[in-house]
Chains A and B, each alone.
Chain A
Amino acid sequence: MNPTLRHIRYVLAENPVTGLAFAGFAAILLLALFGPLIAPYDPLASNTDQALRAPCWDYWFGTDHLGRDILSRVIVATRLDVQISLAAVALSFALGAPLGICAGWYGGRTDRMIGRVVDTIMAFPLFVLAMGIVAALGNSVVNIVYATAIINMPFYARMARAETNARREAGFVEAARLSGNGDARILAAHIFPNILPPMMVQVSLNLGYAILNAAGLSFIGLGVRPPTPEWGIMVAEGSAYIVSGEWWVALFPGLALMLAVFCFNLLGDGLRDIIDPRRRT
C-alpha cells in the first residue's frame, strides 16, 4: 500500500474521532447539496394553527411562531451557512496566502508594509470590526462574506509568511533557482505547494470560526433577513421564546450550528495529525 494512505489509515485507527469528523463533514456537505430535496415541509410555508408546537411525530423539531417546520428550516439553512463560510474562507485564503508568501519571500520593505496592514486589522476586536465593515458596506449576505474574509485574512497571511520564510533557503528552492526559474515561478510552483498542507489545516479550523462569525452577525440582525432560513437568525427568532419555555425554536438551529463547528474543528485537528505526526497532541 501507498505510504501516505497507510499513514492516513494509521491515524484514523489511532483516533476514531477523526473518522467521525470526516463523516460529519460529508453529512454537512450532503445536506447543503440536497437539503431542499430532503426537507419534509416547505421551510417558508407558515401555518398559524400549528404555531409553536412542541416536537412531535409530525414535526420532529416542532414549529416556530408562524407554524413553520423547524426541521425543514434547519436542513435548508445548511446550504446558506456552508456557502457563506466556504466563500469567506476561500476569499481570505486567496487574499492572505499571496500576501504572506510575498512578505516571507521578499522580506524588507514589502514585509513591513504587509505587516502593517495585518497589524491594523488585528488592532481591532475582530467581531467588532466585522460589524463595522458590514455596517459600512451595507447590510447584505455578500458583505457578511467580505467582512468575515477580511477579519480572517491575517491568520493566513501570518502563517504563509512564517512557512515561506522557513523554506526560503531550502535545498529545493536553491535547486529551482539554479535551474533558472524566476521568483514568480519558484513561489507558485515550488513554495506554494509546499506550504499548502499546513495552510489546509488552518482552513478547516477557520471554517468553524467563519460559520460562528456569520451566524453571530445574523443573530444581531446583520446580513441575512427573515424569513430566509439561517441558523443564526433562527436562534435569534427563538430567543424570544426561551423565557416562556418554548425551547425547541432556538435549540435545534443552535445545535446544528454547534455540531457543524465542532465537526470542522475536529476535522482540523485530524488533518493536522495526518499532515504532521510530530505535532500530534
Chain B
Amino acid sequence: MIAHLILRRLLGAIPSLVAVVVVTFMLTRALPGDPAAYFAGPAATPQAIEEIRHKLGLDKSLPLQFVDYLGDLARGEFGQSLTTGQPVAQDILARLPASVELTLAGLILALIVALPLGVAAATRPGSWIDHLARVVSTAGVSLPVFFTGLLLVYVFYYLLGWAPAPMGRLDLFTSAPRTITGFFLIDSLLTGEFATFRAAAAQLTLPALTLALFSVAPLARMTRASMLGVLSSDFVRTARANGLSRGTVLVTYALRNALLPVVTTLGMVFSFLLGANVLVEKVFSWPGIGSYAIEALVASDYAPVQGFILTMAVLYVTLNLLIDVLYGLIDPRVRIEA
C-alpha cells in the first residue's frame, strides 16, 4: 500500500522535473554572449567561429539542441567551469554536502524552536508567550537574512569572541575529516575525530542559526494556527472529557493532527530556505554550491550557474516529493485514497 503511494507520488513529480529541465534549457539559450565567439577567442576569423559553433552544435534548431542538452544531462555533463577549470558536475558534487549540511542544520534548529513555540502559543492564547510568538513570526519574515547573519557575526565573533571567524566550514588549523558522507559533523564522528567535530560544529552554529531565525516564523505561525483549530475540535473535547492526561491530549491527539498543515508549509519553507542559503553562504564564506554560483555569476562564467540552478531545482522537487510521501505516512486518509 505504501509502495503504491510512493510510486504514485514519484509519477506525480515527473511533470515538475520536465518543466524544470525545459526552463533551465531556455535560460541557458537566453544567456548573454555567443559561446562560440567566446571559445574561439578574440582574434578568431568568422569562419573559425562558424566552425566552433558547428562543433558545439549551436547551429542546429532549438528542438535538436534540446535533445543534445538532454543527452548531456543524462551523461551527467554540465559543461566546464572557466574559473575553476573543472567539470561543473564534479565541482557541484564536491560542494553539495556543505550546502545540504547547512540547510538541514538550519531546518532542524528551526523545527526545535518553532514547534514548541507554536504549541505553547496555541494553548495559551493572549498570554506573553503568544505575543512572543507573534513578534517572532512578524520580525522573522521582515529580517533580511544576509543582515541577520552579519549582526550575529558582529555580536558573537567581534564583540563576544564566542564564535570562530566566519570563514567557511573549518578553521585554518583543522583539516577536513575523511570523506564518507561529505557532512563534516557525521564524518568526524564516524572517524572518531572529536576535535574536528567541535571545530565543524562551531563553524556551523552561526550560519545555521541565521537560517533558523528566518524559517522559525512561518513554521511557528502555522503550528499555532493549526493547533488552535485542532484544540477546539470535538475529538479533543471528547479526549479531555474522558479524563485523559493533558500531555496525552496535547501530543497524541492534538499535535499529531495539527502537524499535517505544518508538513505542507515545509515545502514553501524549503523554497525560501534554499534561496536564503545562497545569501548565508556568501556572508559566511561557506564553500557550498550557492557561493560557487555567485563567484561564477560575478565572473560571467555561465556553465556553473546553469548547473547550480538545475541542481537546486531538482533538489527542491525531490524535497517536495519527500514531503508528499511523509504526508501520506502521517495521514492515513491519504493512504486510503491511494
Among B36-44, B144-152, B247-255, B323-331, which stretch is in contact with chain A?
A: B144-152
Q: Supply 16 A–B pairs (Cβ within 8 Å), ascending by A.
A: A119-B15, A123-B317, A125-B270, A125-B272, A125-B312, A129-B309, A135-B31, A135-B305, A136-B31, A136-B32, A216-B144, A239-B150, A245-B154, A247-B158, A261-B142, A262-B139
Are A131 and B278 in contact, CB atoms less than 8 angstroms apart? Answer: yes
| B24 cross-chain contacts in A, Cβ below 8 A | 132
Question: Which B residues lie within 8 Å of A138 (CB)?
Answer: 32
Number of A residues with CB within 8 Å of any CB on chain B? 48
Expressed in whole angstroms, the minimum distance between the Cβ of A38 and any Cβ of chain B is 24
Task: Indicate if the CB atoms of B32 and A131 lie closer than 8 Å.
Answer: no
Q: Which residue of A lies closest to B27 (CB)?
A: A136
A96 near B: Cβ within 8 Å?
A: no
A-side contacts of B145, CB under 8 Å = 216
| Residue pair A132, B309 in contact (C-beta under 8 Å) | yes
Other CB < 8 Å A-B pairs besides A124-B312, A257-B144, 5 of them?
A128-B275, A135-B31, A242-B154, A265-B138, A265-B141
* Residue contact B142 to A235, C-beta cutoff 8 Å: no
Other-chain contact of B147, A135, A136, A250, A265 (Cβ < 8 Å): A250
A136–B300 CA distance with the chains assembled, in angstroms:
11
A126 touching B279, Cβ below 8 Å = no
9-residue interface stretch from B57-65, B111-119, B179-187, B290-298: B290-298
A219 contacts chain B at the CB level, 8 A cutoff: yes
Interface flag for B157 (CB, 8 Å): yes
| Cβ contacts under 8 Å, A232 to chain B | 144, 146
Q: Is B316 positioned at the interface, with any CB of A under 8 Å from its CB?
A: yes
Closest to B17 in A: A123
B160 interface residue per 8 A CB criterion? no
Q: Is the CB of A212 within 8 A of B144?
A: yes
Which residues of the partner chain B approach A261 to less than 8 Å between Cβ atoms? 141-144
Closest chain-B Cβ to A242's Cβ sits at a distance in Å of 5
What is the CA–CA distance of A116 and B139 in the complex, to the nearest angstrom?
34
Query: Are A266 and B19 in contact, with the CB atoms below 8 A?
Result: no
Interfacial chain A residues near B165, Cβ < 8 Å: 243
Residues of A at under 8 Å CB distance from B? Answer: 116, 119-120, 122-133, 135-138, 208, 212, 215-216, 219-222, 232, 235-236, 238-239, 242-245, 247, 250-251, 254, 257-258, 261-262, 265-266, 269, 281
- A97 to B297 CA separation, bound complex (whole angstroms): 33
Cβ 8 A contact of B275, one of A122, A127, A244, A269:
A127
- B20-37 CB mask vs A (1 if < 8 Å, else 0) is 101110011011100000
Asked if B150 and A124 make an inter-chain contact with CB atoms under 8 angstroms apart, the answer reads: no
Closest Cβ–Cβ distance, residue A246 to chain B (whole Å): 10
Closest A-B pairs by Cβ, 9 of them: A127-B275, A254-B147, A125-B274, A120-B19, A262-B142, A136-B30, A261-B142, A123-B16, A136-B27
User: Contact between A125 and B316 (Cβ–Cβ < 8 Å)?
Assistant: yes
Q: B264-307, CB under 8 A of A: which get 1 and which 0? A: 00000011111110110011000000000110011000100110
Q: How far, in angstroms, from A266 to B150 measured CA to CA in the complex?
A: 24
Partner of B144, one of A129, A235, A238: A235
| A190 CA / B293 CA spacing, docked (Å) | 47
- CA–CA, A262 to B139, complex, Å? 7
| Interchain CB contact under 8 A, A135 and B144 | no
B312 touches A128 (CB 8 A): yes
In the bound complex, residues from chain B placing their C-beta under 8 Å from that of A126 are 271-272, 275
Residues in B whose Cβ lies below 8 Å from that of A132 = 24, 27, 305-306, 309
A151 to chain B, nearest CB (A): 9
Nearest chain B residue, comparing its CB with the CB of A134: B297
Q: Which of A135, A239, A266 has the most CB of B within 10 A?
A: A135
Chain B residues 145 to 180 lying within 8 A of chain A, measured CB to CB, are: 145-147, 150-151, 153-154, 157-158, 165-166
Query: Is there an interface contact between A235 and B293, defined as CB atoms closer than 8 Å?
Result: no
Inter-subunit contact B158/A242 (CB<8 Å): yes
With an 8 A cutoff between CB atoms, is B259 at the interface? no
| A220 and B158 contacting across the interface, CB-CB below 8 Å | no
Whether the Cβ atoms of A221 and B297 lie closer than 8 Å is yes
In the bound complex, do residue A119 and residue B19 qualify as a contact, i.e. CB atoms below 8 Å apart? yes
CB nearest neighbor in A for B276: A127
